[in-house]
């Protein structure tokens, strides 16, 4: 028997890769971001305590399948391939893959110019998938987006392909790089759960519905993406 009588809530575990601002990152030792706030709403709805498991993006699907985590909120793009392995909630964010280059680069102006170039990506992402389709390109895959950006700044690679919102953050903090106007893809983020967990999926979709209806989605949107 427990010696103390503190009230303990059941824990729900969110899997993520907290190197993807403004969706998830670590600031002052705390997990913060749009996905973190949404996940707190999910935990609240369940009357449970949220625990964050931070890992590499490429490990998240396996973590769901082995039930190391209950759901994944990680700016994860819905793809047909992933939907064979996990179940996805309703889409909650529409965005694009963009190309980052150095401002002083004079060879890459559009997607076509990536042919034969060295492209940095985050491992296991749709940005990696898209980059591997580019003819004769060498794809360098890093654990984190900012590592790709660092290698771009250092001149080790010619471009980075990554999600639009983190790209905007990286560019805002680095005056040597810029985002090209032409985008690679349009895609949608969704929360993923284990194929077994129909009930949790329904709850997550209910939470999204409520957040849209009561205006809290817009509040969160403005908090992280407003001007
Ligand atoms: N949206 C991209 C994907 O799902 C990248 C997500 C991320 O790096 N956190 O592949």
Cα separation, 12 vs 90, whole angstroms = 20
136-156 pLDDT, tens digit per residue, is 999 999 999 999 999 999 999
Ligand 1: nearest atom to the Cα of 162: 5
31-65 pLDDT, tens digit per residue, is 999 999 999 999 999 999 999 999 999 999 999 99
Question: Do residues 203 and 159 both lie within one domain?
Answer: no
Contact (CB, 8 A) for 72 and 60: yes
Residue 5 forms part of a structural domain: no
Contact (CB, 8 A) for 122 and 162: yes
pLDDT of residue 2: 47
Q: Is 141 in the pocket of ligand 1 (CB under 6 A)?
A: no
Distance 5 CA to ligand 1 centre (A): 42
Gyration radius of the chain over CA positions: 19
Residue 3 forms part of a structural domain: no
Indicate the DSSP class of residue 20.
Answer: E
Ligand 1: nearest atom to the Cα of 76: 4
Distance 36 CA to ligand 1 centre (A): 15
Distance 147 CA to ligand 1 centre (A): 15
Question: Do residues 84 and 117 both lie within one domain?
Answer: no
The DSSP H or E segment spanning 45 is: helix 34-46
Question: Do residues 122 and 177 both lie within one domain?
Answer: yes
Q: What percent of the chain has pLDDT over 70?
A: 96
Distance 163 CA to ligand 1 centre (A): 7
Cα separation, 98 vs 107, whole angstroms = 17
Cα separation, 177 vs 100, whole angstroms = 7
Question: Do residues 203 and 172 both lie within one domain?
Answer: no
Looking up residue 61, the CATH number of its domain turns out to be 3.40.190.10
Q: Is 89 in the pocket of ligand 1 (CB under 6 A)?
A: no
Question: Do residues 37 and 17 both lie within one domain?
Answer: yes
Residue 1 forms part of a structural domain: no
123-133 pLDDT, tens digit per residue, is 999 999 999 99
Task: Give one DSSP letter per residue of 146-180, joined into a string.
Answer: HHHHHHHHTTS-SEEEEEHHHHHHHHHT-TTEEE-
Contact (CB, 8 A) for 85 and 61: yes
Question: Do residues 162 and 201 both lie within one domain?
Answer: no
Q: Is 87 in the pocket of ligand 1 (CB under 6 A)?
A: no
- As given in the structure block, the two tokens for residue 128 are 């990696």
Cα separation, 69 vs 61, whole angstroms = 9
Distance 134 CA to ligand 1 centre (A): 19
Q: Is 163 in the pocket of ligand 1 (CB under 6 A)?
A: yes
The best mutation among 88, 163, 187 to test binding of ligand 1, ranked by most ligand atoms within 8 Å of the C-beta, falls on 163
Query: Is pLDDT of 3 > 80?
Result: no
Q: Which domain holds residue 151?
A: 96-185
Query: Is pLDDT of 5 > 80?
Result: no
Strands (E), the chain: 11-16, 19-20, 24-27, 30-32, 49-54, 71-72, 87-102, 118-122, 138-142, 159-163, 177-179, 185-193
């Amino acid at each position: 028997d427990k010696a103390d009588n503190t009230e303990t809530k059941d824990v729900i575990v969110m899997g993520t890769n907290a190197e993807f601002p403004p969706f998830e990152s670590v600031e002052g030792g705390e997990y913060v971001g749009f996905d973190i706030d949404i996940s707190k709403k999910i935990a609240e709805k369940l009357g449970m305590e949220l625990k964050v498991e931070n890992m590499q993006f490429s490990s998240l699907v396996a973590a769901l399948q082995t039930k190391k985590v209950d759901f994944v909120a990680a700016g994860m793009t819905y793809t047909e391939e992933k939907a064979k392995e996990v179940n996805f909630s309703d889409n909650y964010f529409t965005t694009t893959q963009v190309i980052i280059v150095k401002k002083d680069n004079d060879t890459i102006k559009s997607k076509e110019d990536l042919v034969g170039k060295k492209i940095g990506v985050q491992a296991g992402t749709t940005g990696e998938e898209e980059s591997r389709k580019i003819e004769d390109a060498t794809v360098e895959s890093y654990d984190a987006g900012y590592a790709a950006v660092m290698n771009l700044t250092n001149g080790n690679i010619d471009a980075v392909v990554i999600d639009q919102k983190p790209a905007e953050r990286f560019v805002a903090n680095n005056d040597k790089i810029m985002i090209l106007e032409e985008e690679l893809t349009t895609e949608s983020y969704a929360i993923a759960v284990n194929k077994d967990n129909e009930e949790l999926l329904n709850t997550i979709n209910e939470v999204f519905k409520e957040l849209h209806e009561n205006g809290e989605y817009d509040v969160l949107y403005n908090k992280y993406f407003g001007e």
